[in-house]
Amino acid sequence: VEQVKLLDRFSTSNKSLTGTLYLTATHLLFIDSHQKETWILHHHIASVEKLALTTSGCPLVIQCKNFRIVHFIVPRERDCHDIYNSLLQLSKQAKYEDLYAFSYNPKQNDSERLQGWQLIDLAEEYKRMGVPNPHWQLSDANREYKICETYPRELYVPRIASKPIIVGSSKFRSKGRFPVLSYYHQEKEAAICRCSQPLSGFSARCLEDEHLLQAISKANPVNRYMYVVDTRPKLNAMANRAAGKGYENEDNYSNIRFQFVGIENIHVMRSSLQKLLEVNGTKGLSVNDFYSGLENSGWLRHIKAVMDAAIFLAKAIMVENASVLVHCSDGWDRTSQVCSLGSLLLDSYYRTIKGFMVLIEKDWISFGHKFSERCGHLDGDPKEVSPVFTQFLECVWHLTEQFPQAFEFNEAFLLQIHEHIHSCQFGNFLGNCQKEREELKLKEKTYSLWPFLLDDLKKYLNPLYSSKSQRFTVLEPNTVSFNFKFWRNMYHQFDRTLHPRQSVFNIIMNMNEQNKQLEKDIQDLESKIKQCKNKQSDGVLTKELLHSVHPESSALKTSLCLKEQTLLPVNDALRTIEGSNPADNRYCDYTEEFSKAEPGVVSLEYGVARMTC
Amino acid sequence: MEFSELIRTGRAQAELLPGPEEAPLRGTLCVTGHHLLLSPGPPSTPDLWLLLLRSVDSIEKRVAGDSGTITLRCKDLRVLQLDIEGVEATLDIARSIEALSSLESVITSFPFFYRPKGLRLGDAWHFHPPERYYKRVARETNAWRLSEVNQDFSLCPSYPRAVIVPRAVDDDALAQCARFRQGGRFPVLCYHHAPSGTVLLRSSQPLIGPQKRRCAEDEDLLRAVLTGARPGAQGFIVDTRSAQAAKQARMTGGGTEAKAAYPGWKRLHRPLERGRALQESFVRLVEACGDTEQSMDRWLSRLEGCRWLAHVKEALSTACLAAQGMEREGACILVHGAEGTDSTLLVTSLAQLILDPLSRTITGFQELVEREWIQAGHPFQLRCAHSAFSHARPKHEAPTFLLFLDCVWQLGRQFPLSLEFGEGLLLALFEHAYASPFGTFLCNSEKERCLCEVRTRTHSLWSGLNQPKEQRKLRNPLYVPNPLAIWPSVEPQSLRLWQGLFLRWTRPPEPSEVAWEKVWQIVTEREKTGDSAHSFCLSPQPKQ
């Protein structure tokens, strides 16, 4: 479709770019008059809306799951209607097999694909944590997904917990998700375990479950009591009792300390994000509306709640040496958030690029966070969609802001992962649990995201990362309210006008690299000078010396070239500034006022005149 | 008057209660004429200088048993707590501090006694911004001249001796204009934008009054500005009050330019908050920042309620409007509010920072502050008499200068490579504007500074700051000169609370400072390796 206009989301003067809109099998493509291309993956489209016809054409608003919002104006209504209908069909698939991942072909052969899938090996990861050991062992109870369909095949449990105990406990837990090991802290010999809520109702008990919990606390030789953390608000947990579910009764379990941490459920989170996005989408937003909107959405309050819960975990292990069992209702949303963040605080390995991938594979993918339902990959129940994983990424971002040197990766890495949980381009996040993924044969039919991220490693490195610094072994973030900020680069990733005009990151990255290169040059040169001196003392002069000087001067050239290169990124930065002319910003819209100003004042004068009359 | 009369007790045993992550400190507390000292233990160890008494904003005393506690809230937003032995001693020390910190007289203030090593009196006072700036303007255009009509401060007490005015207007006409403008602040040039040939002017409101007075010389002056720029140039008058307020000012003798009297000039009203409302906003923000226990919702609603960031947004967008008028529309801009000493300066100085690459260097920025704030007659002594903690009823206090620094900080955040100075310089300016051992921010105008002989009897902050040892704190290691205008985003999502200032003392030193140190390390390493690679390249040469 030609002659389509793309409107700037924040401009009040309706300035626009004109170009051509293309629909491909997988993408929506807009090419403007400057040949700039905007690609939008169909799977990213969250909603398409056709607005009332205007004089210039038919407006079409597309909201994406990565928070991009585009506003097209299509000159003819029929075209608009066609686009609208095709997008509706293309963005909502009914079957997994129709998703992009099954057709995406990055030109790799089967062995490369397999290697990609083997990049993250969870058995290896448990070994790194230090299990199996005298207290913990691998259980084969769920080998055939017989006990719990949403758990992985391989589960680690206390050595003294026998199979009947496990089976009994699983019957007493919602969806059969009995307590298993999520993270083992080798130094403190304490564990983070996870499960779902007990089916306790008002008075039910289960001896096997009580035994299993006791086994977990006994597996910790240092501390006899353990914490049981229910991540729900107390009220919600009480309400669940009426449905025969609920929470542990402290009297029935020996040596447990029970604690609520009050994170809201997926529905609250969904509407909170919805409110946040509504506020941000407002044109001509005032500072006060922004902050009252931020407050009313409650989004940052929820983020803080998740963070506080994770800190509780880390403290229990570091300060009290106590093991912790975490659950919510089903143990796949809030539990995943809290367990993964808790381990991130405790273990610096998870703050590396590889480690972060492992963490997501372990606590999110393998333990059955329902990615497909939460991200709405297929046309399904909209009530199951919720930004639980987005919240986790935002918590990690807040940590990177508070501890800029503690993470090997940068913000771009988080944004890229967020992009791909919705993109359906790779197999990692498809399906809702391991069993389903095996049935879909994802490892044979699709590719893994992680090797592709590693290919672009440079883009995701944090130049300030210091791996050696012992200070950062355990993070102790400060959750004072001031420390929580709106994550502009996530929710306005595609609104270029809102971003800082220059990036410090690239510059520092480049400098670091040049430093390394220059240091290498210096070493080269030094060794050559030594050679020269040796030769001089040998009395062999002239010709050979000349020879040795020549390669030197080539090295000199490289180092000088490097100096010149320093300027290059700067030029890049300048270009972005050049791009930022005042017309990009909102005050530009006052230009109209330059012409309109006088009449406005005049009418006011009339008003005053009338009042004095 | 002797300071000793005010000091009731010079000495007492006291303990300084720790701030976040600092150990408490015991020692002998000592009140001197200008300082509060705490000397910890054996006489051989050097005294710990606590603080300048002048920077105490409010003092609170509490007595319990045979000891007392005083809480000092400082103008730089720091809060200190001292436990003092003895009830009498506590009360005496509190009273002495109270008396000494609120001395009104300028010439007994500390800058007149401060004689640091390594600095000579009068060193940086050769800094004559209007004259220096005129040299630059004269290279670019000859439509303007430097007038010394205000040599004896008779025309306008709040202007410096020399001002830049249109060449076509003579000194007699200027005298007439001065009579037509409040406080004698007739329109003067503050920035010539060479690429577009347009100028930025500032003044105070015209004294139109209820009778709708006019002044031919004033009208001529503004006409001369337009013809001096280029034929057919347009002008905009940016009034920093609402149309309503400007109208009402007529009742008290002020007003705003009538359209008919100034052909070629159009008026724009951009109401900016000033005076008490701004001070209240500052006080409420600082209050909110002092509470570390509050919930997320409470914090956000207080941040909204104090309206500080809304003021930042308004100031920045008005400055952008002025800058845009010059650069894009090719129009001349005159900025004024009522007195032309507060929000006017905010707008003109920010507009220059946006347009002028030179003002983004360290020296350029210091000159900008000197020229557009100090010499332009921002009444620092009145505005900065108290900071956010004072219980006294505010009279003339307003954090206009702080608002300016905050806006600059926002610019620096959006253009991290384009300012040669870092947050350190802005923090230093904030501190020194409220309480300083240097004379730079003393008094309300150039005239008063001359009367007090500030230039010859005190040290200049600029020479203090420009010592090599201070540089690392003030510089931005990533600076790369940027010849273009920097247009900031003024969306609420792009503005942030300046935590480095407002939360400076309420949170433990951030790891982000460590990270900043790392950036410095990377940059200096780069210079070093670059240099040595260079010297290597050169050294083998002679051997050939």
User: What is the per-residue pLDDT across B262-287, written as a single tens digit (0 to 9) for each?
Assistant: 988 999 999 998 888 999 999 999 99
- Chain A residues 549-568 with a CB less than 8 Å from chain B: 549, 552-553, 556, 559-560, 563
Spatial separation of the C-alpha atoms in residues B100 and B30, rounded to whole Å: 13
Residue A356 is predicted with a pLDDT of 96
- Chain B residues 263-282 with a CB less than 8 Å from chain A: 266-269
Question: Is A225 part of the contact surface with chain B (CB cutoff 8 Å)?
Answer: no
Residue A74 is predicted with a pLDDT of 83
Spatial separation of the C-alpha atoms in residues B426 and A244, rounded to whole Å: 61
The whole-number average pLDDT for the span A105-114 is 85
pLDDT tens for B342-401 read: 999 999 999 999 999 999 999 999 999 999 999 999 999 999 988 888 877 777 889 999
Residue B343 is predicted with a pLDDT of 93
Residue A317 is predicted with a pLDDT of 93
- Greatest CA separation for chain B: 88
Which of A182, A128, A174, A131 minimizes the C-alpha distance to A152? A182
Closest-CA distance of chain A to residue B341, Å:
24
From the list A500, A588, A600, the residue facing B413 with the nearest CB is A500
Which of B221, B212, B223, B224 minimizes the C-alpha distance to B257? B212
Phi, psi (rounded to 5 degrees) for A80? -60, -45
A351 assigned binding-site residue: no
- Chain B residues 484-513 with a CB less than 8 Å from chain A: 484-497, 499, 503, 507-508, 510-512
Residue A498 is predicted with a pLDDT of 66
Question: Is B379 part of the contact surface with chain A (CB cutoff 8 Å)?
Answer: no
Contact B494 A604 (CB under 8 A): no
Using the predicted structure, report yes or no on whether residue A542 has a pLDDT greater than 70. Answer: no
A209 assigned binding-site residue: no
Residue B141 is predicted with a pLDDT of 87
Instruction: Give me the total of CB pairs closer than 8 Å, taking one residue from chain A and one from chain B.
Output: 234
Spatial separation of the C-alpha atoms in residues A167 and A171, rounded to whole Å: 6
pLDDT tens for B288-318 read: 988 888 898 999 999 999 999 999 999 999 9
Q: List Cβ neighbours of B485 (8 Å cut-off, separation of 6 or more).
A: A582, B323, B327, B354, B355
Which residue among A328, A339, A424, A433 is the active-site one? Answer: A328
Closest-CA distance of chain B to residue A287, Å:
5
In DSSP terms, which residues pair with B200 in a beta bridge?
Answer: B191, B333
pLDDT tens for A456-483 read: 898 899 888 887 765 558 888 988 888 8
Bond before A132 cis per omega within 30 degrees: yes
Helices assigned H by DSSP within A122-265: 122-129, 163-171, 207-218, 234-242
Contact B496 A587 (CB under 8 A): no
Spatial separation of the C-alpha atoms in residues B273 and B250, rounded to whole Å: 19
From the list A10, A304, A605, the residue facing B491 with the nearest CB is A10
Is residue A193 flagged as an active site residue?
Answer: no
Spatial separation of the C-alpha atoms in residues A157 and A181, rounded to whole Å: 6
In DSSP terms, which residues pair with B333 in a beta bridge?
Answer: B200, B236
> Which residues in chain B are contacts of A553 at CB distance < 8 A?
537
Between helix B308-327 and helix B400-414 the angle, nearest 10°, is 70
Higher-confidence residue of B178 and B531: namely B178
From the list B414, B487, B515, the residue facing A404 with the nearest CB is B515
Closest-CA distance of chain A to residue B439, Å:
35
- Chain B residues 406-435 with a CB less than 8 Å from chain A: 413-418
Higher-confidence residue of B450 and B505: namely B450
The whole-number average pLDDT for the span B481-500 is 88
From the list A301, A492, A574, the residue facing B482 with the nearest CB is A574
Using the predicted structure, report yes or no on whether residue A358 has a pLDDT greater than 90. Answer: yes
Using the predicted structure, report yes or no on whether residue B53 has a pLDDT greater than 70. Answer: yes
pLDDT tens for A545-556 read: 333 333 333 333
Contact A295 B300 (CB under 8 A): yes
> Which residues in chain B are contacts of A485 at CB distance < 8 A?
496
Residue B520 is predicted with a pLDDT of 73
Question: Model pTM?
Answer: 0.86
ipTM over 0.90: no
- Greatest CA separation for chain A: 109
The whole-number average pLDDT for the span A516-544 is 66
Average model confidence (pLDDT) across chain B: 85
Buried b / exposed e over A434-447, threshold 16 CB at 10 Å, is bbbbeebebbeebb
Mean pLDDT lowest for which of B26-30, B418-422, B457-461?
B26-30
Average model confidence (pLDDT) across chain A: 81
Q: Which of A275, A295, A307 to mutate to test the interface with B (most CBs of B within 10 A)?
A: A295
pLDDT tens for B191-243 read: 999 888 899 999 999 999 888 899 999 999 999 999 888 777 889 999 999 99
pLDDT tens for A246-290 read: 999 888 988 899 999 999 999 999 999 999 999 888 877 888 999
Residue A565 is predicted with a pLDDT of 33
Residues in chain B: 544
Is A110 exposed, middle or buried (CB count within 10 Å of its CB: 0-12, 13-18, 19+)?
exposed
From the list A401, A501, A578, the residue facing B415 with the nearest CB is A501
B333: closest chain A residue by CA: A594
Contact B304 A559 (CB under 8 A): no
Residue A595 is predicted with a pLDDT of 34
Number of neighbouring beta carbons within 10 Å of residue A495: 21
- Chain B residues 316-345 with a CB less than 8 Å from chain A: 317, 320-321, 323-325, 327-329, 331
pLDDT tens for B408-418 read: 999 998 888 88
Using the predicted structure, report yes or no on whether residue A395 has a pLDDT greater than 80. Answer: yes
B412: closest chain A residue by CA: A500
Higher-confidence residue of B362 and B541: namely B362
Confidence of residue A600 (pLDDT cuts 50, 70, 90): very low
Contact B492 A522 (CB under 8 A): no
B527: closest chain A residue by CA: A515
Provide the 3-class DSSP secondary structure of residue B193: strand
> Which residues in chain A are contacts of B532 at CB distance < 8 A?
522
Spatial separation of the C-alpha atoms in residues B374 and B367, rounded to whole Å: 10
Question: Is A274 part of the contact surface with chain B (CB cutoff 8 Å)?
Answer: no
pLDDT tens for A135-188 read: 999 998 899 999 999 999 999 999 999 999 999 999 999 999 999 999 999 988
> Which residues in chain B are contacts of A288 at CB distance < 8 A?
304, 307, 310
A19 assigned binding-site residue: no
From the list A522, A573, A588, the residue facing B529 with the nearest CB is A522
B268: closest chain A residue by CA: A597
Contacts 24+ apart (CB under 8 A), A580-584: A580/A497, A580/A501, A580/B487, A581/B487, A582/B320, A582/B323, A582/B324, A582/B327, A582/B328, A582/B485, A582/B487, A583/A15, A584/A496, A584/A497, A584/B487, A584/B489
Using the predicted structure, report yes or no on whether residue B494 has a pLDDT greater than 80. Answer: yes
Using the predicted structure, report yes or no on whether residue B166 has a pLDDT greater than 80. Answer: yes
Using the predicted structure, report yes or no on whether residue B488 has a pLDDT greater than 50. Answer: yes
Which of B412, B399, B391 minimizes the C-alpha distance to B482? B412
Confidence of residue A611 (pLDDT cuts 50, 70, 90): very low
Residue B64 is predicted with a pLDDT of 83
Residue B49 is predicted with a pLDDT of 63
Q: Are A83 and A1 in contact (CB under 8 A)?
A: yes
Spatial separation of the C-alpha atoms in residues B37 and B51, rounded to whole Å: 7
- Chain A residues 570-589 with a CB less than 8 Å from chain B: 570, 573-574, 577-578, 580-582, 584-588
Question: Is A244 part of the contact surface with chain B (CB cutoff 8 Å)?
Answer: no
Contact B415 A584 (CB under 8 A): no
Q: Which of A594, A602, A604 to mutate to test the interface with B (most CBs of B within 10 A)?
A: A594
Residue A394 is predicted with a pLDDT of 96
Spatial separation of the C-alpha atoms in residues B473 and A574, rounded to whole Å: 26
From the list B243, B523, B534, the residue facing A604 with the nearest CB is B243
Provide the 3-class DSSP secondary structure of residue A474: coil
A265 assigned binding-site residue: yes
Contact B478 A507 (CB under 8 A): yes
pLDDT tens for B116-152 read: 887 777 666 666 678 888 889 989 888 899 999 999 9
Closest-CA distance of chain A to residue B493, Å:
6
pLDDT tens for A54-80 read: 777 888 888 889 888 888 888 888 888
Number of neighbouring beta carbons within 10 Å of residue A109: 8
